[in-house]
Structure 1
């Protein structure tokens, strides 16, 4: 059983750990190993704390909590140009495929709808086929927009999806 709620300051460290583990698991072979190895849950937690302190308005940081009370995933949704954006969705790697991601995505959709963040868009690494299938099953469609982000001087293409 998974419940989704708003992230609290007590959730920052487990969310940062999930984010770093999620990047390392999902992006191995897609991003330079040097970049993934340098990622730090402690540094990520500091950034999350700062963002959480400044959070206001129609955006939301959501956490999925399992039956034991442990944080199993995190999603961040908020306003973007002409609608909303799912900025991030990460699930503890050992919980992928258990419904945690879908629960977070459903909660992000509900938040976006309640705050007029429509249409909802997201960016996904072009080579991340697992994530692309996940979002396509949830009704997202690649809308033709592409961009590249640089990681250790390697350009990595991303594809935009819209729902």
Structure 2
């Protein structure tokens, strides 16, 4: 990493295996106790990597995938963002779909850098607001997003994980004042 911050770049097909590892390890670390343990234990890095490759090969309607690269060339984090999904309807707003780090990268500025770049790009693209969904019980992530200027906006919905409905809350941030 460059000092306290990683180098950010667009994700490529060659990154899919490592991004899948980041996502799976991120789920297993962050969601222990929030989602069924058998679900976490059953996460498959190879299958996840194939899903990432397939998504990269098709046009996902403006989805941007960024990776955070360390000085040694390894990946420490991944974020995906794009147009807000309101059911099947696209709005003029943006959404952070995912932000995951290797557990050993937490607290090193990787997540802050990925989130700041996603916010900057969405603001520069003219989106008025940025939304994200977070598990209600994920207090660490909720504090992280709140420190970055996001706030719960009152929307809640269950997210089915391994046959269990896990409550999610929506966070929003006004992008009008974000420098592009």
Aligned mate of 1:45, from 43, 49, 54: 49
**TM-score, scaled relative to structure 2:** 0.88
Equivalence for 1:25: 29
Higher helix share: 1
Partner deviation per Cα, 1:69-120 (whole Å, 9 max, x = no partner): 1111000000014311000000111010000000100111122112223310
CA drift at 1:154: 1.3
In the comparison of the two structures, how many residue pairs are matched?
163
Deviation at 1:125, TM superposition (A): 0.1
Determine the structure 2 residue equivalent to 1:79.
83
Take 1:36 and 1:116, find their aligned partners in 2: how far apart are those partners? 37
Corresponding position of 2:138: 128
Unaligned runs of 5+ in 2: 85-89, 174-180
CA gap 1:57/1:114 in 2 versus in 1, 3 angstroms: farther
Which of 144, 150, 155 is residue 140 of structure 1 equivalent to?
A: 150
Stretches of structure 1 lacking an aligned partner (at least 5 in a row): none
1:108 equivalent to 2:118? Answer yes
Point out the more displaced range, 24-33 or 116-125. Answer: 116-125
* Counterpart in the other structure of 1:64: 68
State whether residues 78 and 117 of structure 1, in contact with CA within 8 Å, keep that contact through their aligned partners in structure 2. no
